[in-house]
Structure 1
Amino acid sequence: MLDITVRRADAADRPVLERLWPLFQHDMSGFRGVLPNPDGTFRSERLDAAFTDADRVPYLVASGEHPVGFVFVRGLNGPARVLSSFFVVSGARRQGIGLRAVREVVARHPGPWGVAFQDNNPTAVCFWRRVAAEIAGDDWTEERRPVPARPDLLPDVWISF
């Protein structure tokens, strides 16, 4: 099992997160049907907002000097926090890193939480249900909500705890 650290990302970490972002977007493109921009990049508004919006915070997950993922949170000033983007690199998956990272981030921002994922992503379905049960026991809910401005997509699954 890899030792990890989860720390709030700062401006010096931004280039690392900018390199991880396309890997995350590539993974998600298979479930969202999103194609890269004409220049080969993916949209990065959520990445930008994680560093510029006072209601959001980015976290970098690392194993020693190696970045292995990230967690972006929004809703810091609202009634519930939302885990808005979450990624672990393929080489670090299935080692408990994701669950440990989520636990640490949730502990830093007490209160209600929500996370959305896609029903057609079986790995995410199992992972997020397990995370909810590990963190909240039986005190969590699941519902489907339409994706804003994307009626062509299946509804997102939202877990709240």
Structure 2
Amino acid sequence: MDVDLLAVDAADKPVIANLLQLYLHDSSEFEPSELSAHGTFDFAWLDSYFIEPAREAYLITVAGRPAGFALARCDVAGDVGPWNVGEFFVVRGHRGRGRGVAGQAARLLFRRHPGPWTLSFLPANVPASRFWPKLVDAVAAGPVSRHEFQPTEGAAAKVRLLFQIGP
């Protein structure tokens, strides 16, 4: 399958914004959120992925057509920090059944920034709970650290994976 991960700029923000609505809709099953008065989900950080140098937006494509997105940021602590998978989404038509779209796209993302990475997922999201640990174990250069945490009172519990990607 012809999977690609394309860095995008502000001209592509509407495509990412549209895909974000699908992602936030799917995510609302595991972490409830309310629709805005316009019937859309809010995502306060979208603009930052197009104006802040430590944030990057990517379009996942299959055979040249949009199939999802990845948002990554460098969590700077001093001069160097780990990269973080902020958001990652593959549309339902390209998930599962051995397609490998998400795995290929995630590998392409990790290769862009060798070194430390983190990502978090909701344990209630069973597909993500199966996908991320298995994929990270396969690509990590060394041990993977797993931490369960409660971000804020009332928010859903999360699992954070910390790992290294080799050069």
Partner of 1:40: 39
In structure 2, give the amino acid aligned to 1:140.
Answer: V
Is the counterpart of residue 112 in structure 1 residue 116 in structure 2? Answer: yes
Partner of 2:162: 160
Is the counterpart of residue 28 in structure 1 residue 32 in structure 2? Answer: no
Q: 1:116-127 maps to which residues of 2 (within 5 A)? A: 116-127=120-131
User: Pairwise CA RMSD of aligned residues?
Assistant: 1.5
More helix by share: 1
The normalised TM-score by structure 1 is 0.92
In structure 2, give the amino acid aligned to 1:41.
Answer: T
Displacement after TM superposition at 1:71 (Å): 0.6
Is the counterpart of residue 139 in structure 1 residue 143 in structure 2? Answer: yes
Partner of 1:58: 57
2: CA distance between counterparts of 1:76 and 1:125?
23
Is the counterpart of residue 96 in structure 1 residue 100 in structure 2? Answer: yes
In structure 2, give the amino acid aligned to 1:5.
Answer: D
Structure 1: gaps spanning 5 or more residues = none
In structure 2, give the amino acid aligned to 1:69.
Answer: G
Structure 1 stretches (4+) deviating beyond 3 angstroms? none
In structure 2, give the amino acid aligned to 1:8.
Answer: A
Other structure's SS at 1:130 match: helix
Structure 2: gaps spanning 5 or more residues = none
Give the total of aligned pairs: 158
Cα deviation code 1:44-80 (max 9, x no counterpart): 2222211122110001111133100111001164411
Is the counterpart of residue 70 in structure 1 residue 69 in structure 2? Answer: yes
2: CA distance between counterparts of 1:157 and 1:59?
23
Asked if the contact 1:56/1:76 (under 8 Å) is kept, the reply is no
